[in-house]
A = this chain, B = another copy of it.
Amino acid sequence: MSIRIGILGYGNLGRGVECAVKQNPDMELAAVFTRRNPEDVKILTESASVCSISEVESWKDKIDVLILCGGSATDLPEQTPVYAKLFNVVDSFDTHARIPEHFANVDASAKEGGKVGIISVGWDPGMFSLTRMYANAILPQGNDYTFWGKGVSQGHSDAIRRVEGVKDAKQYTVPVEAALKAVRNGENPELTTRQKHTRECYVVLEECADAKKVEEEIKNMPNYFADYDTTVHFISEEELKKNHSGIPHGGFVLRSGKTGWNEEHNHLIEYSLKLDSNPEFTASVIVAYARAAYRLASEGAKGCKTVFDIAPAYLSAKSGEELRAHML
């Protein structure tokens, strides 16, 4: 029997989950739940239903894992604890500073409902967190580095779009090659914000906007741009659509550590991702953890888990025997 998946929220991430479920023969998409009028939402999977979010409770026995595809700012802090009482759930909550609080809320709900909730799944938090944790456990003496990009930051793109005179914009976060190189050389540099990443902005102006003023406003925006070397390119709407419509991302996690009786030997662990589609990759990680949620729940587990708490084999459709014979 397949693992029956529900998707709550059908934006980029929800569509990514739908695509990922299609790639996993042990899963099937049962239903998509939306806040919009279900008749206005067209999904790709013919066999799945589209329902109003108000109906979700009636699917309690027809869904094995509900995947929450809302945003971390306002949706998930509310939704994950609510739905963890009714369903095994997976979310991609990515506000790092609020993870402990979110964990506590989901843990209480999931235990109350006798369900499993897996939070903060994706690539950062997610695969990058795993890499940092394994690398720190292996090399207790060392330094951690995380670089993001080259990729689109939705938050920074949105910030530019709020500047007066800007019609549309896309912002790329770009790791500084020289900084990466210094880390790879084992130099253990201390890097400022400015030394780690640059920000490249592609901006479409409103008619009659003052380019000089827009550029200054972007470059001096506190938190978002003031601490970075920022480049602003003014381009046409057509060019933005043609060359900047994708949502690529990626990045690097490195740990540079030492071993030996006198710490005389250097080691470098590096993990990197180069992603054509940030939401589809995030969704693919989430779907693997949905399998884990299903299996853990089948074994009687309850409460909130993160990627740190789940043995890798739970993610794979392959058996222990197959994994040992072919992947170890």
Contacts and interface: CB of A to CB of B under 8 A. Distances in A.
> DSSP majority for the A interface?
helix
A134 interface: yes
Given A16-B259, A327-B129, A309 B320 contact: yes
A276 B265 contact: yes
A307 B316 contact: no
A130 interface: yes
A324 interface: yes
Interface in A125-144: 125, 127, 129-134, 136-141
A237 B127 CA distance: 46
Q: Size range of the interface on A?
A: 35 or more
A328 B125 contact: yes
Contact of A130 (B103, B288, B312): B312
Contacts of A275: 265, 267-268
Nearest to A268: B274
A208 interface: no
A311 B305 CA distance: 11
Interface in A260-300: 260-261, 265-277, 280-281, 283-285, 288, 291
Contacts of A232: none
A226 interface: no
A74 to B, nearest CB: 20
Contacts of A268: 272-275
Interface in A236-268: 259-261, 265-268
Given A129-B327, A272-B270, A280 B308 contact: no
26 contacts: A22-B261, A23-B140, A24-B140, A100-B321, A127-B134, A127-B269, A130-B312, A131-B271, A133-B323, A137-B316, A138-B285, A138-B315, A259-B277, A265-B277, A266-B276, A267-B276, A267-B277, A267-B284, A268-B273, A270-B270, A306-B324, A306-B328, A308-B316, A308-B324, A309-B311, A311-B311
